[in-house]
Structure 1
Amino acid sequence: MEKVFKIYVYKEGEPPLVHDGPCRSIYSTEGRFIHEMDKGNRFITKDPEEAHAFFLPFSIVKMVRFIYNRHRRDAGPIKRFVADYIDVVSKKYGYWERNLGADHFMVSCHDW
């Protein structure tokens, strides 16, 4: 399976919320994974038609840092960002619609 399994990484979005993550903290697993997916490895394909899975390269840690209001404890901004991101890629590519996102994934390393 390792020889044929392919992941497509969506290119949409910009740092700090997308294509970036922490690499020097207790949450570094998230950042390291995002960076590995963006720089490419044997599992990455540039052709979404070859993909078995689709990576959503946003960082929950960065969303908490930049758009979450800790005083209000409202996860609404994070939920809206994720929903908007999925809306953008599903309309642009259509791969989400094939099976309602079952072959899409994200990585999140957090403690709340």
Structure 2
Amino acid sequence: MEHLFKIFVYEEGDLPLFHNGPCKDIYSTEGIFLSLMETTTHFRTRDPEEAHVYFLPFSVVMILEHLFDPIIRDKAVLGRVMGDYVHTISTKYPYWNRSLGADHFMLSCHDWTHKLSVT
């Protein structure tokens, strides 16, 4: 299975929100995984037709760090970013639409609700 399993990584999106994440703090698993998906070819394929799953390479930490305003406290910012991203993916590629996203995955290796909680 390890030799056959292939992941397609979407290339849409710019740093720092996409294709990047922290690698040296308590949320480092997110950044390390993003980095490995960008640099390793063991599981990654550049041909979406041969992929088994599709990776959405965004960083929850970076989205919250760069777009969440602690004064306005808009908890829907992550939903808007992801909605826009999925819209971009689903209009450019057929893969989201053929499975309604069932073969797509993202990584969120931490509980980030404390940053969004109302005090």
TM (normalized to structure 2)? Answer: 0.90
Please state how far the C-alpha of 1:73 moved relative to its aligned partner.
Answer: 3.0
Considering only CA atoms, is the larger Rg found in Structure 1 or Structure 2?
A: 2
Unaligned runs of 5+ in 2: 114-119
**What residue number does 1:5 align with?**
5
What is the DSSP-based 3-state SS (H/G/I as helix, E as strand, rest coil) of the residue aligned with 2:34?
helix
Please state how far the C-alpha of 1:65 moved relative to its aligned partner.
Answer: 0.2
- Equivalents in 1 of 2:81, 2:50: separation in Å? 27
**What residue number does 2:108 align with?**
108
Taking every aligned residue pair, what percent have the same amino acid on both sides?
Answer: 53
- Equivalents in 2 of 1:26, 1:71: separation in Å? 24
Aligned partners of 1:10 and 1:55 also within 8 Å: yes
Q: Report 1:7-46 matches (<5 A).
A: 7-46=7-46
Unaligned runs of 5+ in 1: none
Please state how far the C-alpha of 1:42 moved relative to its aligned partner.
Answer: 0.9
Pairwise CA RMSD of aligned residues?
Answer: 1.0
| Runs of 4+ residues deviating >3 angstroms | none
